[in-house]
């Protein structure tokens, strides 16, 4: 692999190996066992275990169990299972931070003896107050003056459980005026009179993450301590602890990457626990949950999850990934691998009146992939079922399946046509009487009949009834917060679907494509050959509504990856980013560009003061103006934020089109003239007047009689052609909206 295409973490690792900083790479995956792991953890697993594997190092699995009140062994098991299922091995035994409690305690004593840690006895409220704010420095507690002896005594008593919770804490003595708030004498130990699921009742004090994590990493010989961006400010403490204790080298260093976020998905273990505890879902392995256990039960393959994690890359700026990407990944993995079978979700009986007897039709499991072996026999007789949606009495245009006037092929079998529709007393169709064409069998068709599609079917007596669980998104909004955002229709149970008999065995193949329906998985818990239950993994293709969004996100992620060097946002930049996306409603890519660049964000702010049109302003500033500012300072520009605002105002007022705006901008950037002046002197005002536009439209319609014919014959895509021609004839000055309307009207005649 060429170095350039590698993610920034692997580049760091390679550099460290090359410079002999380490001779072996050691990483770790350090979850807190307080819930089931989710797809975000899969990302972390794929990074930590993946890097160790790529560089012949190893990766530890460590339970970060410093919080006795929320942790439990069932979560430990789920975490182990997730790592194994994803195909990784941890080095040696599973490790636990609690196994290091003695050593960590000794390190605390060392810090006290160095005068670098003290027992504080302020109340929680005061501690917060004394810490100061981002804008003001903090004040050190008077207890920081305690002698080393007193500190040692108190700390010992804390350990022995002689004080109640909150009475004292152990703090590092660092810097109460540090610009990094985390460095203002951070907490190292707190009192907790709680039973620990492994350490039992031995301890009445528990180390804080910031103290335990770096030391655990060090003790395990970890070289690269990879974590998510929210720990960026903790890095200073990480370094402070290890440096202050002057430990024998080599020591680990922390590196942060952007945590995975997926739209329509909620990933915090704490919030997922809430769903489980409130029975909003059926346990941690509910196939609608983004837990590894949930994906596993639903039928996702480990490979598809790993491919997804790799495909989205490792970024240094937080971003949101479209859930469609994950769906794409599983589809992509299953497409060529799994057998294709016939299942009818919503059966409608068809009696083929001119068919006698029965037969078995050989059909490949892998019809798309000829060399792949494997087939079964489909029983066939005069009584079959097709899907209700594959017959329409009064079809819309473009309906290609069975209708009273349109034949259809039964997949792998014959062509049939509808002879009679049987309805019940409510007018509902309950049966179709059909005829088949004896010489139309698939593969040896001599009937000469043209059909537009082939549909799935099952033979009435041989078919097996199955239950199908169809899942939709668990949440109805893109950024769900909890139970209130649940999609009430996320689970649909279809009780009486019918499937071809070959599928149902005691131990079925695990995954199938039900042709024309999607990918399905025999539920690993509820399936039996008497009551077969299948989970829908994913449909065959994205619905068009979902589709639109994905490319943008993919592009964005690619971009961050290519510019892999982009550093994490500072607090100020983060705040701007928040404002841009939340208040100004900019998309995250534009917001990212602006927030990270001082010149651009200043320019944008000034323009915004002139004109409240954030989206249009941000677009031109993050593209055109940004290009200019690459080589110039703001005061070297020929134009001002005010002029950009004027230009955008003309777009907003529909005086000029965006296309013309680009022309005006170029001129403005060169000459520094006012946009209005440019528009006037060059006669670029947008043409919206139908009196001017209509004659041009007439002319173009007259010139293109063939296309007019086609348009009226149903090829509505040609509207774009006509609009384009008109805009061209007006040299880009025609108002596209108006032209669209007028052309549409005129073509209808
Ligand atoms: P949660 O808030 O969901 O409980 P966490 O960060 O508290 O997650 P931990 O159990 O501490 O979870 O996480 C173990 C490792 O997994 C950490 O290194 C953490 O950074 C990483 N991780 C957790 N969530 C994500 C995510 N969404 N994307 C990438 N890595 C993640
Ligand atoms: Mg957490």
DSSP lists the bridge partners of residue 421 as 432
Residue 110 CB–ligand 1 contact under 6 Å: no
According to DSSP, the β-strands at 464-471 and 383-387 are: unpaired
Shortest-distance Cα residue to atom 22 of ligand 1: 41
CATH of domain 348-455: 2.40.240.10
The predicted-structure confidence for 382-398, as pLDDT tens digits, reads as follows: 999 999 999 999 999 89
- Neighbour count for residue 336 (Cβ, 10 Å): 10
Q: In what order do the strands lie in the sheet with 26-29?
A: 26-29, 58-63, 95-96
- CA of 286 from ligand 1 middle (Å) equals 20
Residue 536 CB–ligand 1 contact under 6 Å: no
**Residue 317 token pair:** 């700026």
- Of 205, 243, 299, nearest to 512 by C-alpha is 299
The predicted-structure confidence for 116-147, as pLDDT tens digits, reads as follows: 999 999 999 999 999 999 889 999 999 999 99
pLDDT in the model for residue 367: 87
Q: State which of 259, 315, 479 you would mutate to test the pocket of ligand 1, scoring each by most atoms of that ligand within 8 A of its C-beta.
A: 259
CATH of domain 1-116+124-138+174-184+195-257: 3.40.50.620
The predicted-structure confidence for 404-441, as pLDDT tens digits, reads as follows: 999 999 999 999 999 999 999 999 999 999 999 999 99
- Of 346, 688, 328, nearest to 494 by C-alpha is 346
- Of 281, 313, 198, 385, nearest to 558 by C-alpha is 313
Measured between its terminal Cα atoms, the distance across the chain in Å is 61
- Neighbour count for residue 82 (Cβ, 10 Å): 26
Q: pLDDT > 70: what percent of the chain? A: 95
Residue 44 CB–ligand 1 contact under 6 Å: yes
Residue 267 CB–ligand 1 contact under 6 Å: yes
CA angle 350, 446, 404 (to 5 degrees): 35
Candidate from 4-13, 385-394, 474-483, 552-561 with smallest mean pLDDT:
552-561
Residue 228 CB–ligand 1 contact under 6 Å: yes
The predicted-structure confidence for 447-484, as pLDDT tens digits, reads as follows: 999 999 999 999 999 999 999 999 999 999 999 999 99
Residue 614 CB–ligand 1 contact under 6 Å: no
CATH of domain 690-748: 1.10.10.410
The whole-angstrom separation of Cα 258 and Cα 340 is: 39
Domains 1-116+124-138+174-184+195-257 and 348-455 share a fold: no
pLDDT score of 253 more than 80: yes
Active site residue 269: yes
- Of 388, 380, 390, nearest to 348 by C-alpha is 388
pTM score, whole prediction:
0.74
- CA of 42 from ligand 1 middle (Å) equals 9
Residue the block writes with tokens 């190996």: 17
Mean local confidence (pLDDT), 53-62: 98
pLDDT in the model for residue 487: 96
The whole-angstrom separation of Cα 423 and Cα 436 is: 21
Ligand nearest to the CA of 269: 1
pLDDT in the model for residue 82: 98
Phi and psi torsions of 88, nearest 5°: -115, 155
The whole-angstrom separation of Cα 449 and Cα 71 is: 67
Active site residue 559: no
pLDDT in the model for residue 542: 66
Phi and psi torsions of 76, nearest 5°: -60, -45
DSSP lists the bridge partners of residue 385 as 349, 458
pLDDT score of 372 more than 70: yes
Round the average pLDDT of the chain to a whole number and report it. 92
The 3-state DSSP class for residue 150 equals helix
Using a 10 angstrom Cβ sphere, with 0-12 exposed, 13-18 middle and 19 or more buried, the burial of residue 387 is buried
- CA of 555 from ligand 1 middle (Å) equals 25
Q: Name the catalytic one among 157, 259, 388, 596.
A: 259
The predicted-structure confidence for 274-296, as pLDDT tens digits, reads as follows: 999 999 999 999 999 999 999 99
Mean local confidence (pLDDT), 173-177: 97
Q: pLDDT > 90: what percent of the chain? A: 74
Task: Answer yes or no: are the C-beta atoms of 410 and 416 closer than 8 Å.
Answer: yes
pLDDT score of 317 more than 90: no
pLDDT score of 657 more than 90: no
The whole-angstrom separation of Cα 158 and Cα 166 is: 10
**Residue 197 token pair:** 């699921």
pLDDT in the model for residue 3: 47
The predicted-structure confidence for 67-83, as pLDDT tens digits, reads as follows: 988 888 999 999 999 99
pLDDT in the model for residue 1: 45
- Neighbour count for residue 56 (Cβ, 10 Å): 9
The whole-angstrom separation of Cα 304 and Cα 306 is: 5
- CA of 35 from ligand 2 middle (Å) equals 9
Task: Answer yes or no: are the C-beta atoms of 351 and 323 closer than 8 Å.
Answer: no
Mean local confidence (pLDDT), 321-344: 94
Which ligand 1 atom is the nearest neighbour of the CA of 226?
Answer: 18
pLDDT score of 716 more than 60: yes
pLDDT score of 560 more than 80: no
pLDDT in the model for residue 549: 43
pLDDT band at 588 (very low <50, low <70, confident <90, very high): confident
Task: Answer yes or no: are the C-beta atoms of 391 and 404 closer than 8 Å.
Answer: no
pLDDT score of 250 more than 90: yes
Domain residue limits, the chain: 1-116+124-138+174-184+195-257, 259-342+468-543, 348-455, 558-682, 690-748
DSSP letter (8 states) at residue 134: S
The whole-angstrom separation of Cα 503 and Cα 521 is: 11
Sequence-ordered alpha helix ranges (H) in 290-386: 292-298, 302-311, 323-334
Residue 40 CB–ligand 1 contact under 6 Å: yes
pLDDT in the model for residue 749: 67
According to DSSP, the β-strands at 429-436 and 511-514 are: unpaired
- Neighbour count for residue 5 (Cβ, 10 Å): 10
Q: For residue 250, is the peptide bond before it cis, meaning its omega torsion is within 30 degrees of 0? A: yes
Ligand nearest to the CA of 38: 1
Q: State which of 44, 51, 64, 305 you would mutate to test the pocket of ligand 1, scoring each by most atoms of that ligand within 8 A of its C-beta.
A: 44
pLDDT band at 509 (very low <50, low <70, confident <90, very high): low
Candidate from 189-203, 293-307, 382-396, 686-700 with smallest mean pLDDT:
686-700
- CA of 685 from ligand 1 middle (Å) equals 55
Active site residue 32: yes
Q: Name the catalytic one among 32, 310, 435, 542.
A: 32
- CA of 227 from ligand 2 middle (Å) equals 12
Task: Answer yes or no: are the C-beta atoms of 637 and 628 closer than 8 Å.
Answer: yes
The whole-angstrom separation of Cα 468 and Cα 462 is: 18
pLDDT in the model for residue 660: 85
- Written out in words, the top-level CATH class of the domain with range 259-342+468-543 is mainly alpha
**Residue 446 token pair:** 């001599």
- Alpha carbon of 306 to those of 45, 46, 511, 697: distances in Å? 9, 7, 18, 54
The whole-angstrom separation of Cα 483 and Cα 481 is: 7
pLDDT score of 204 more than 80: yes
pLDDT score of 532 more than 70: yes
pLDDT score of 510 more than 60: yes
- Of 169, 174, 204, nearest to 189 by C-alpha is 169
Mean local confidence (pLDDT), 632-651: 91
- Of 631, 553, 642, 629, nearest to 592 by C-alpha is 553
**Residue 493 token pair:** 């149970």
- CA of 104 from ligand 2 middle (Å) equals 21
The 3-state DSSP class for residue 646 equals helix
pLDDT score of 554 more than 60: no
- Neighbour count for residue 342 (Cβ, 10 Å): 25
pLDDT in the model for residue 497: 98
Shortest-distance Cα residue to atom 25 of ligand 1: 40
**Structural element, H or E, at residue 377:** strand 375-381
């Amino acid at each position: 692999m060429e170095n350039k295409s590698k993610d920034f973490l692997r580049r760091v690792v390679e550099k460290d190996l090359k410079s002999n900083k380490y001779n072996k790479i050691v990483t770790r995956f350090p979850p807190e066992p307080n819930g089931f792991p989710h797809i975000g953890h899969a990302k972390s697993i794929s990074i930590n275990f993946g890097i160790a594997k790529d560089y012949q190092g190893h990766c530890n699995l460590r339970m970060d169990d410093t919080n006795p009140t929320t942790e439990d062994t069932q979560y430990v098991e789920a975490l182990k299972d997730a790592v194994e299922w994803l195909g990784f091995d941890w080095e040696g035994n599973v490790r636990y931070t609690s196994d290091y409690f003695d050593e960590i305690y000794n390190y605390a004593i060392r810090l006290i003896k160095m005068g670098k840690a003290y027992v504080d006895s302020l109340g929680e409220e005061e501690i917060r107050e004394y810490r100061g704010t981002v804008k003001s420095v903090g004040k050190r507690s008077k207890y920081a003056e305690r002698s080393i002896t007193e500190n040692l005594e108190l700390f010992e008593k804390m350990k022995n459980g002689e004080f109640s919770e909150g009475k004292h804490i152990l703090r590092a003595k660092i810097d109460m005026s540090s610009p990094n708030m985390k460095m203002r004498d951070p907490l190292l130990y707190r009192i907790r009179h709680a039973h620990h699921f492994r350490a039992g009742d031995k301890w009445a004090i528990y180390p804080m993450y910031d103290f335990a994590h770096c030391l655990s990493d060090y003790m395990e010989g970890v070289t690269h301590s990879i974590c998510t961006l929210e720990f960026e400010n903790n890095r200073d403490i990480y370094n402070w602890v290890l440096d202050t204790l002057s430990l024998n080298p080599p020591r680990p260093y922390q590196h942060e990457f952007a945590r995975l976020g997926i739209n329509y998905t909620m990933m915090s273990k704490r919030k997922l626990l809430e769903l489980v505890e409130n029975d909003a879902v059926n346990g941690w392995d509910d196939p609608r949950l983004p837990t590894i256990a949930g994906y596993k039960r639903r039928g996702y393959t480990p490979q598809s999850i790993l491919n997804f994690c790799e495909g989205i890359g490792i970024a240094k700026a937080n971003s949101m990934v479209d859930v469609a990407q994950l769906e794409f990944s599983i589809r992509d993995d299953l497409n060529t691998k799994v057998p294709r079978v016939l299942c009818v979700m919503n059966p409608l009986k068809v009696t083929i009146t001119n068919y006698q007897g029965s037969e078995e039709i050989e059909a490949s499991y892998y019809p798309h992939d000829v060399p792949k072996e494997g087939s079964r026999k489909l029983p066939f007789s005069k009584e079959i079922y097709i899907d209700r949606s594959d017959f329409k009495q009064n079809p819309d245009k473009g309906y290609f399946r069975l209708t009273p006037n349109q034949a259809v092929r039964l997949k792998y079998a014959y062509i049939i046509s509808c002879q009679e529709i049987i309805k019940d007393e409510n007018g509902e169709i309950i049966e179709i009487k059909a005829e088949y064409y004896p010489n139309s069998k698939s593969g040896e068709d001599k009937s000469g009949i043209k059909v537009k599609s082939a549909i799935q079917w099952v033979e009435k007596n041989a078919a097996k009834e199955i239950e199908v669980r169809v899942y939709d998104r668990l949440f109805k909004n893109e950024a769900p917060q909890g139970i209130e955002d649940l999609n009430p229709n996320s689970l649909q149970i279809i009780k009486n679907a019918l499937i071809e008999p070959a599928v149902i065995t005691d131990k079925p193949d695990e995954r199938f494509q039900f042709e024309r329906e999607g990918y399905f998985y025999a539920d690993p818990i509820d399936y039996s050959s008497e009551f077969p239950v299948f989970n829908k993994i994913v449909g065959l293709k994205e619905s068009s509504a979902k589709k639109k969004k994905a490319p943008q996100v993919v592009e964005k992620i690619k971009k961050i990856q290519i510019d892999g060097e982009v550093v994490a946002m500072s607090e100020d930049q983060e705040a701007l980013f928040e404002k841009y996306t939340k208040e100004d409603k900019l998309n995250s890519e534009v917001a990212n560009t602006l927030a990270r660049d001082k010149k651009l964000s200043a320019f944008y702010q000034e323009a915004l003061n002139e004109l409240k049109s954030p989206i249009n302003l941000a677009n031109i500033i993050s593209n055109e103006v940004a290009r200019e500012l690459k080589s110039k300072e703001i005061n070297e520009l020929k134009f001002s934020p005010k002029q950009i605002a004027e230009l955008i105002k003309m777009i907003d007022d529909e005086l000029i089109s965006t296309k013309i705006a680009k022309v005006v901008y170029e001129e403005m950037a060169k000459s520094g003239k006012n946009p209005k002046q440019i528009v006037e002197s060059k006669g670029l005002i947008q043409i919206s007047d139908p009196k001017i536009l209509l004659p041009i439209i007439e002319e173009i319609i007259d010139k293109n009689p063939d296309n007019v014919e086609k348009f009226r014959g149903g090829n509505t895509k040609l509207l774009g052609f006509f609009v384009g021609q008109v805009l061209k004839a007006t040299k880009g000055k025609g108002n596209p909206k108006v032209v669209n309307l007028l052309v549409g009207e005129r073509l209808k005649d």
